[in-house]
Amino acid sequence: MIQANDPARPPLRVSCIQFEPQFGAVAANIAQASDLIRAAVAEGSRLIVLPELASTGYVFESDAEAAALAEPVPDGPTARAWTALAAELGVHIVAGIAERGDGVLYNAAVIVGPQGYIGTYRKAHLWDQENVFFAKGDLGFPVFDTALGKIGIAICYDGWFPETFRQLALAGAEIVCIPTNWVPMPDQPAGEAAMANTLHRAAAHANGVFIACADRVGTERGQPFEGQSLIIGPKGWPLAGPASRDRTETLSAVVDLDEAGRKDLNAFNSLLRDRRTDIYG
């Protein structure tokens, strides 16, 4: 396995798949996403990020509906489908999923690779009606040490909290994958870029990490989504995107994850070393 900070580690092509899942159409959503993943891999991508709740859709209307669509991880059909595809194609996939674990539902994401299931992240910060159907994540902010490098995961509203990215950066994350379903913010002016673009660019800069955001598009049960997926470098500048607001598309960038390990800004300043933990309270 190539370890993080190995000088022989080659650049990595990352892709964010932006598409429109259809609510409740699990098999069709998996099939569409799989076709898009295959196309990205054909172009050389080795790390693929799918949106939040990519297999089920987002706008649940009842506990029964949520329970019927949630699946166990890693033994449910959706997690098995992503695991089989990653093994077949020799890639890593991060995908949002509705997880059923020990009778509790979570808005979660799985990470799988060529060797199989790697791990799960459960969304820590729940947005709006998610609080009705899902429990708050209880796994913290794990960093997965993979053959590609050290990968962190956050989901959508997690990105509104600076602590999310600081925890991941302190734990050694080089790239943070964001399955997301961004929606317009209150009082957002018409035509204004997604607030998430600003927040995630700032987080990448402040923590010296790559961030890959895969949003969805379309309107589901009256709820519009923002699109505008993007991939950001550790200095906060976009490497790809933002994508469109309303079209299925794949956003890709070639990244050198070793750049995430270099957090110095100049001869005097380093993003993590300069933290004043003695006065933060």
Which residues are the active-site residues? 52, 123, 156
Token duo for residue 137 = 């994540």
261 three-class SS = helix
- The 3-state DSSP composition of the chain as helix, strand, coil percent (nearest 5) reads 25, 25, 50
Nearest partner of 148 among 240, 45, 232, judged by Cα: 45
Q: How far apart are CA 139 and CA 182, in angstroms?
A: 23
Burial (Cβ within 10 Å: 0-12, 13-18, ≥19) of residue 241 = buried
Q: How far apart are CA 212 and CA 230, in angstroms?
A: 6
Find out whether 110 and 95 touch, Cβ atoms under 8 Å.
yes
DSSP for residue 225 = -
Token duo for residue 25 = 């159409």
Identity of residue 200: H
Burial (Cβ within 10 Å: 0-12, 13-18, ≥19) of residue 135 = middle
